[in-house]
Amino acid sequence: MQQKFQNQKATTHNKTKPNWWTEQLEIHKKKVRALRRRAQRAPEIERQARYQVFKKEKAKYKRHIKQAKNMGWRKFCSAASHPYGKQYKAAFRKSVFPSQIPYLINSDPKESLQEAAQNILDQIFFSPAIPTNFNLTTSTQPPDPPISP
């Protein structure tokens, strides 16, 4: 009988939140949802004004989320102990979207994703101390004549 009861137990699944999610973001989310509900249920006269308040607050909320994500990724990348560890895999494999590639601490956050990826590559693969010039070889043969039809 006890065995049947143990087999019948409902298993709960705890959903984990991202490491950048904070209590302030949770409060802000609830505030934005409340403003949306108030705007939807407002009388026709007040509805437009309440929607404007809701839209402004939603824009602030989205901006705070973006800032929290960027800071979370910066912390994640600055904690790298191995150049080809989790951070490298997150930046250059399919497990993470390109828009989530964090910017390095010493780079400009307004640059494009391609420039940010180039900065990461420059940090991982150092350039040689003595640059190699591949244009030193010259040919003694004259150039080929152009092809005429």
Distance CA 35, CA 46 (A): 13
- Whole-angstrom CA distances from 15 to 28, 110, 121 are 20, 33, 34
Q: Which of 52, 78, 93 is the last residue of a domain?
A: 93
Question: What domain range is 55 assigned to?
Answer: 18-93
> Along the chain (149 residues), what's the average pLDDT of each consecutive run of 10 residues?
66 74 94 96 95 96 93 79 68 55 52 71 66 65 81
In terms of domains, do 103 and 38 share one?
A: no
pTM above 0.75, yes or no: no
CA 38 to chain centre: 32
Q: Number of structural domains, the chain?
A: 2
In terms of domains, do 52 and 115 share one?
A: no
CA atoms within 13 A on the CB side of 85: 9
Distance CA 10, CA 32 (A): 33
In terms of domains, do 86 and 113 share one?
A: no
